[in-house]
């Protein structure tokens, strides 16, 4: 497949919200959406970084994004952010669930969940559920959930993973499970949307191996700053740029004829290159596990996403 950001259609009149847009993939995704005419909301935890990113995006695109304060590791913050968006706008055309943490030391969210599964999945599950009424008011709404090829490293999920203890914790296993949850959620949202007759497109993407701050952030959180710097330097030598890593997300967000439930990644062995339709693992495609995850997530977050089509 030959594709570049030049193939993104005119997005004038469309409103998008991108999580984690202060740097890396989220920043590059927001930038291209702005450049192609979309009104963009960037949701981020750190107000200072969000303001800096907004200024940079404005300078680079000629369009100013709106900042929404959002901490995905705090369900109260998710509720406040979603309420702000719902009260401020009449529709939302695109939601890009991009933000995440990677390979962090054992931590818990504000609500007591394991940090990676709580942030990468539960925070986005709750945000999507609370924004669905606004999405369903758009003529052709789309939700893009960003996962990783690391979802292939794990074989399942259990409800106990949400509040697992520190004993026996593996940061890479926990990351893989959070990314598996992303794919399971994306596909289950697609199934439920089609069953309900909702005009909602749920699709997924992964960046391959892209040079972002995400690789070093977990080491920094553990206080291993020297190792983080070495990792960041090595990553720049072998990985594609964050801009190229954002291509699958942008393709998933904007390609006109994308089929429901599509999963997009880099075309060259899912490592780098132009976007292509790729396949999640058999585990990730399992509808029974996806339904279980949905039910566990409703119980954990108190949010039960409704796909009732507005009349």
What confidence tens digit (pLDDT) does each residue in 147-202 have? 999 999 999 999 999 999 999 999 999 999 999 999 999 999 999 999 999 999 99
Q: Give me the pLDDT at residue 233, please.
A: 46
What is residue 253's DSSP assignment? Answer: H
Share of the chain above pLDDT 70, in %: 88
77 is catalytic: no
Structure tokens at 143: 């939700």
CB 275 within 8 A of CB 247: yes
CB 179 within 8 A of CB 185: no
Position 232 confidence tier, pLDDT thresholds 50, 70, 90? very low
175 is catalytic: yes
- The correct CATH number of 9-207+242-301 out of 3.40.710.10, 3.40.50.720, 1.20.1090.10, 3.40.50.2300 is 3.40.50.720
Q: Give me the pLDDT at residue 273, please.
A: 84
Angle at 63 between CA 62 and CA 68, to 5 degrees: 145
Q: Give me the pLDDT at residue 231, please.
A: 46
Q: Which of 23, 179, 249, 263 is catalytic?
A: 179
Phi and psi dihedrals of 63, rounded to 5? -130, 140
Q: Which of 27, 175, 251, 255 is catalytic?
A: 175
Question: What is the pTM assigned to this prediction?
Answer: 0.90
What confidence tens digit (pLDDT) does each residue in 97-113 have? 999 999 999 999 999 99
Cβ atoms < 10 Å from Cβ of 66: 15
- Helix segments in the chain, DSSP class H: 24-35, 47-61, 75-88, 115-117, 124-135, 171-196, 214-221, 225-238, 242-245, 247-254, 287-301
38 closest CA partner among 109, 117, 95, 77 = 95
The sign of the torsion formed by the CA atoms of 43, 16, 88, 77 equals negative
170 is catalytic: no
The residues, any chain, with a CB within 8 Å of residue 94's CB and separated by 6 or more, are: 14, 15, 16, 17, 33, 38, 141, 142, 143, 144, 253
Q: Which of 23, 61, 77, 147 is catalytic?
A: 147
Three-class secondary structure of residue 204 per DSSP: strand
CB 19 within 8 A of CB 72: yes
Helix (H) or strand (E) holding 40: strand 39-44
């Amino acid at each position: 497949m030959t594709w570049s950001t030049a193939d993104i259609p005119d997005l004038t009149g469309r409103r998008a919200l991108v999580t984690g847009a202060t740097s890396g993939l989220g920043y590059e995704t927001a930038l291209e959406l702005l450049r192609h005419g979309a009104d963009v909301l960037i949701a981020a935890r750190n107000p200072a970084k969000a303001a800096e990113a907004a200024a940079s995006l404005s300078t680079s695109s000629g369009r100013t994004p709106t900042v929404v304060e959002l901490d995905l590791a705090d369900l109260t913050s998710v509720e406040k952010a979603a309420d702000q968006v719902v009260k401020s706008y009449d529709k939302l055309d695109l939601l890009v669930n991009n933000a995440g943490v990677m390979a962090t030391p054992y931590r818990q969210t504000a609500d007591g969940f394991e940090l990676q599964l709580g942030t990468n999945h539960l925070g986005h599950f709750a945000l999507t559920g609370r924004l669905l009424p606004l999405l369903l008011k758009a003529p052709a709404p789309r939700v893009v959930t960003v996962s990783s090829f690391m979802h292939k490293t794990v074989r399942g999920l259990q409800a106990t993973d949400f509040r697992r203890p520190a004993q026996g914790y593996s940061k890479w296993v926990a990351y893989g499970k959070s990314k598996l949850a992303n794919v399971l959620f994306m596909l289950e949202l697609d199934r439920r949307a089609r069953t309900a007759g909702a005009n909602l497109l749920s699709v997924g993407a992964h960046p391959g191996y892209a040079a972002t701050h995400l690789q070093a952030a977990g080491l920094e959180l553990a206080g291993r700053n020297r190792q983080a710097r070495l990792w960041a330097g090595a990553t720049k030598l072998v990985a594609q740029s964050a801009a190229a890593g954002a291509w699958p997300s942008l393709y998933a967000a904007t390609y006109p004829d994308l089929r429901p439930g599509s999963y997009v990644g880099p075309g060259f062995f899912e490592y780098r290159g132009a976007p292509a339709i790729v396949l999640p693992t058999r585990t990730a495609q399992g509808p029974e596990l996806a339904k279980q995850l949905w039910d566990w997530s409703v119980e954990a977050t108190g949010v039960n996403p409704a796909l009732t089509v507005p009349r």
